[in-house]
Structure 1
Amino acid sequence: MKKQNYKNHKKYYPPHHFIFLPLLLLLEIAGVYNIWYDPENKLVWLLFSLVIFLLFYLAIMVRQHYALGIQNRIVILEFRQRYFEIFNKGSDDVVEKLSFGQIAALRFAYDEEFKDLLYRALHENISGDDIKRSITNWKPDHQRV
């Protein structure tokens, strides 16, 4: 498996991202094209385009909503567990002060960098992206959906 870092940490699901969604996009383009160039069936193509657009929208939103909602909860739970293991105390106050982006970014840092970056996130309010860019020894997360 390739070593994970800031530039390659995003993950794609090929059937969804490279087949299903592009196919829906092509069907949408064909429907909109035919609205203008097939005036006899304009209403049919308009309805076709509307249905394809709704399928496209639902395919993106439902997939993202469920997967990311559950995953975000797990990331926060992992942060709480890691915080407890490192500092031997609860993390309620810390979690309330951080954004989800900051919490998610901290999971890519090993413990020593985690401590420093957590301090910076709390006291300098650096963004999640800045946290990721600051990591020198990247801890991969191959389970992210």
Structure 2
Amino acid sequence: MSQNYSNHKRFYPLFHFITIPLTVLGLVSAIYTVVSIPNIVTGLIALAFILILLIALMTRMFSLKAQDRAARAEEKLRYFILAGKALPSGLRMGQILALRFADDEELISLVDKTVLNNLSPDEIKKDIKNWRGDYHRI
């Protein structure tokens, strides 16, 4: 299936629909147990679930940051190849990530329009005529 504005957001089912809900459910159960049976063991179990949830969220954030850095480098290189000059430095990360969906023919004009009008990432994505899917991001 080809990507477009309406279906480009990605979910990683194992993380979004299994790991996080089960961890939150375990944390809620552990907190309930601490309240109803307050002792050191139930407190440690609740603490363990808090740590598991934090580790899961930090792992996701770190992987997204690494992907963002790679995507920024890719877009800087693609813009340089197409325009023969550096990508404007005033662009925010969200804008650069939105621009990656534009095909080569409209990238330069869309970058210029983004810099001129300070378009939001959502406005950039809506303005793209020929969508270039990103099928590798999770």
Q: TM-score, normalised on structure 2?
A: 0.89
User: Structure 1, residues 92-125: CA drift from partner, whole Å, max 9, x if none?
Assistant: 6x1x211011111111011232122111111111
Instruction: Report what 1:70 is aligned to.
Output: 66
Residue 23 (structure 1) aligned with residue 22 (structure 2): yes
Worse-matched range after superposition: 99-108 or 42-51: 42-51
Partners of 1:111 and 1:121 lie apart in 2 by 15
Cα distance in 2, alignment partners of residues 9 and 127 from structure 1? 16
Which residue, 42, 47, 51 being the options, matches 1:45?
Answer: 42
How far has the Cα of 1:17 moved from its partner?
1.9
Contact 2:79 / 2:108 at 8 angstroms: preserved in 1? Answer: no
Q: Which runs of 5+ in 1 are unaligned?
A: none
In structure 2, distance between residues paired with 1:63 and 1:126: 27
Q: Which runs of 4+ in 1 moved over 6 A?
A: none
Measured in 1, the distance between the counterparts of 2:28 and 2:66 equals 33
Q: TM-score, normalised by structure 1?
A: 0.85
Identity rate, percent: 38
Structure 2: stretches of 5+ with no match in the other structure? none
1:56 aligns with 2:49: no
- Kept in 2, the 8 Å contact 1:36–1:42? The answer is no
Aligned to 2:110: 117
Q: Partners in 1 of 2:128 and 2:83 — Cα distance?
A: 20
Matched, 1:12 2:5: no
Asked if structure 1 preserves the Cα contact closer than 8 Å seen for 2:91 and 2:115, the reply is: yes
Question: Is 2:83–2:108's contact at 8 Å kept on the other side of the alignment?
Answer: no
**Cα drift, residue 28 of structure 1:** 0.6
